Amino acid sequence: MKKLLLLGVWLLASPAAQASLNVFSCEPEWTALTQQLAGNQVNIYTATGPLQDPHRVEARPSLIAKARSAQLLVCTGAELEMAWLPVILRESGNSGLQPGNTGYFLASSAVKMLEVPTRLDRADGDMHSQGNPHIQTDPRNFLPIAEALSKRLMQLDPANTTFYQQQLTAFSQKWRTAIARWEKQGAPLRGVPVVVQHKGFPYLSNWLGLKEVASLEPKPGMEPSVAYLGTVVTQLQHQPARMVLRAAYQSPRSAAWFAERSHLPVVEIPYTVGGSSQAFDLFSLFDDTLNRLLAALK
């Protein structure tokens, strides 16, 4: 009996049974990446769901409470969460998670940003001064982000540095192999003209070589009128497209109206982990994305 009690105490105190860090993750893709890199060394709370618009989140007391007890914040940045994250950080009173501190990690700081505006004017719609924040749609971005995030984990939890290094090496090798497979699979998509519901796919298009010929939003973040959608239908008579891309979290109304009149298939992109039943982790997220795009070509 004494041996059993001692074993129980050891299990409770061991790294496998007790996580080293509490992590506040803004989006499901960063939850999935952190889990790949840290395993059971972390407890992760995800602030948004896969079918939730990450631009528009309520700074609820429950989110503030989770941020208050976290040692690491992992978010996209590039102003994606600017409507709600600053409120959570201020109200949490957690000095470690404030910008500039070790517990504050933005994935966008590790990658090259696309669509950085040359001017900022509210008349141009919802513009992000640091560039388009939807970096998670290009799997190549996860490699530098994973490296930077692993370094941050080592800073916060130096006792488990060797473990984090091993996890990073294993993930990077497996991820590079997957990227090669996805790029071979996605070769037929290169040069394919597409319409996007929202300017949320520049990284996906840049990776696969898709050609965005029109957007269903007159300006980023602005709901289109029927009249505007009609002009896009007319535009496609001179500049044809093969499909319409819509993120799973977005309303299907404008894409459905447009598809009925343009006779184009609508591809619902999972966009993040959990955005579809098939996209249950980072690897299956891109498996499902490629499968949906290729199916629309047929």
Q: Are both 141 and 159 inside the same structural domain?
A: yes
Q: Using one digit for the tens of pLDDT, what is the confidence trace for 161-194?
A: 999 999 999 999 999 999 999 999 999 999 999 9
Distance, in Å, from the CA atom of 8 to the CA atom of 227, rounded to the nearest integer, reads: 68
How many domains does the chain contain in total? 2
Cβ neighbors of 50 (< 8 A, separation 6 or more) are 28, 248, 249, 270, 271, 272, 273, 274, 275, 279
What is the per-residue pLDDT for 20? 86
**Per residue in 74-88, pLDDT tens?**
999 999 999 999 999
Indicate whether 1 belongs to any domain: no
In this predicted structure, the answer to whether residue 18 has a pLDDT above a threshold of 80 is no
Number of residues in the chain: 298
d(CA 127, CA 246): 19
Same domain? For 222 and 93 the reply is: no
Range of the domain at 250: 187-297
Q: For residue 9, what pLDDT is reported?
A: 37
Exposure string for 166-193, b = 16+ CB within 10 A, e = fewer: ebbeebbeebeebbeebbebbeebeebe
- Tell me the mean pLDDT in the region 24-33: 98
pTM of the model: 0.90
Residues facing residue 214 across a β-bridge? 195
167 in the same domain as 24:
yes
Q: Are residues 159 and 218 in the same domain?
A: no
Q: Are residues 24 and 144 in the same domain?
A: yes
**220 vs 160: which has the higher pLDDT:** 160
The answer to whether residue 11 scores a pLDDT higher than 70 is no
Please report whether residue 93 resides in a domain.
Answer: yes
User: What are the pLDDT digits (tens) for 188-216?
Assistant: 999 999 999 998 999 999 999 999 999 99
Q: What pLDDT band is residue 127 in, cutting at 50, 70 and 90?
A: low
DSSP conformational letter for 278 = T
